[in-house]
Amino acid sequence: MTSIDYNAFRDEVRDFLATSYPASKRELNQRQAGMFAEPELGQWWQRTLHARGWGAPSWPVEYGGTGWDAVQKHIFMSECTAANTPSFAVQGLAMVAPVVMKFGTQAQKDFFLPGILSGELYFCQGFSEPGSGSDLASLRTSAVREGDDYLVNGSKIWTTHAHFANWIFLLVRTSTEGKPQQGITFLLAPMSTPGISVRPIISISGEHELNQTFYDNARIPIANRIGDENKGWDVAKYLLEFERGGAYAPSAQGMLEAAKKIAAQQPGDDCATLWDDPQFQRKTAELEIDMLAQAATEHRVMTALAGGNNPGDIVASMLKLSGTALQQAASELCVEALGDYALADQRQSLHLSSNIPPIGPDYAARPVAKFLNLRACTIYGGSSEVQHNIVARAAMGLK
Partner 1 sequence: METPLSDDQRMIRDSVAGYLRDRYDDAERRRIIDSEAGWSAPHWQAFAGELGLLGAGFAEAAGGLGGGAAEHALILEEFGSALVVEPYLSTAVIAGGFLKASTAAAAPQLIADAIAGTAIFAYAAGEPNARSNPAHVETRAECRGANYVIDGQKAVVLGAVGATHLIVVARTSGGDRDPEGISLFVVDANSPGITRRDYRTISGGPASDITFTGVTVPASALLVPEGTALPLIERVVDEATALLCAEANGVMRRLHGDTLAYTSQREQFGKPLASFQVLQHRMVDMLVAMEHSQSITARAIELLDADPAERARAVSAAKVYVGKSLRYIGQQAIQLHGGMGMTDELAVGFFFKRAIEIERQFGSVEYHLTRYTRLANAPAAIAA
Ligand X SMILES: Cc1cc2nc3c(=O)[nH]c(=O)nc-3n(C[C@H](O)[C@H](O)[C@H](O)COP(=O)(O)OP(=O)(O)OC[C@H]3O[C@@H](n4cnc5c(N)ncnc54)[C@H](O)[C@@H]3O)c2cc1C
Site of interaction with ligand X (CB under 6 A): 124-128, 133-134, 158-160, 210, 376, 379-380, 383, 385-386, 389
Of 376, 381, 387, 390, the one binding partner 1 (CB under 8 A) is 376
Compose the 248-277 pattern: x for residues touching partner 1 by CB under 8 A, - for all others. Answer: ------------------xxxxx---x---
Alpha helices in 68-133 (DSSP H): 70-82, 97-103, 106-118
Instruction: Tell me the C-alpha to C-alpha distance, in Å, between residue 216 and each of 142, 156, 197.
Output: 10, 12, 8
Residues of span 183-222 touching partner 1 by CB under 8 A: 201-204, 206, 210
Nearer of residues 138 and 309 to partner 1, judged by Cβ: 138
- Establish if 82 lies at the interface with partner 1 (CB under 8 A): no
Of 21, 112, 280, 363, the one binding partner 1 (CB under 8 A) is 280
249, amino acid identity: A
- Establish if 322 lies at the interface with partner 1 (CB under 8 A): no
Q: Which helix (H) or strand (E) holds 259?
A: helix 249-265
Partner from ligand X, partner 1, none contacting 341, C-beta within 5 to 8 A by type: partner 1
168, amino acid identity: I
- Establish if 36 lies at the interface with partner 1 (CB under 8 A): no
Nearer of residues 138 and 303 to ligand X, judged by Cβ: 138
Beta carbons within 10 angstroms of residue 329's beta carbon: 19
Nearer of residues 16 and 280 to partner 1, judged by Cβ: 280
Task: Give dist(CA 190, CA 220) in Å, integer.
Answer: 8
Partner from ligand X, partner 1, none contacting 176, C-beta within 5 to 8 A by type: none
Which SS3 state, helix, strand or coil, does residue 281 take? helix
Partner from partner 1, ligand X, none contacting 311, C-beta within 5 to 8 A by type: none
Task: Give dist(CA 233, CA 225) in Å, integer.
Answer: 13
Nearest Cα residue to 369 out of 40, 42, 24, 31: 31
Of 2, 3, 7, 279, the one binding partner 1 (CB under 8 A) is 279
Sorted by sequence, the CB contacts under 8 Å of residue 251 that are 6+ apart come out as 81, 87, 327
Radius of gyration of the chain (CA): 22
Nearer of residues 201 and 222 to partner 1, judged by Cβ: 201
Nearer of residues 183 and 381 to ligand X, judged by Cβ: 381
Q: Are 190 and 120 in contact (CB under 8 A)?
A: no
Nearest Cα residue to 92 out of 208, 243, 228, 210: 243
Compose the 101-140 pattern: x for residues touching partner 1 by CB under 8 A, - for all others. Answer: ---------------------------x---xxxx--x--
Nearest Cα residue to 363 out of 277, 259, 267, 288: 259
Partner from partner 1, ligand X, none contacting 305, C-beta within 5 to 8 A by type: none
- Establish if 354 lies at the interface with partner 1 (CB under 8 A): no
Task: Give dist(CA 12, CA 57) in Å, integer.
Answer: 15
Q: Are 76 and 68 in contact (CB under 8 A)?
A: yes
Of 157, 189, 196, 258, the one binding partner 1 (CB under 8 A) is 157
Residues that bind partner 1 (CB under 8 A): 128, 132-135, 138, 157-158, 201-204, 206, 210, 266-270, 274, 279-280, 283, 335-336, 339-345, 348, 359-361, 368, 372-373, 375-376, 378-380, 383-385, 388
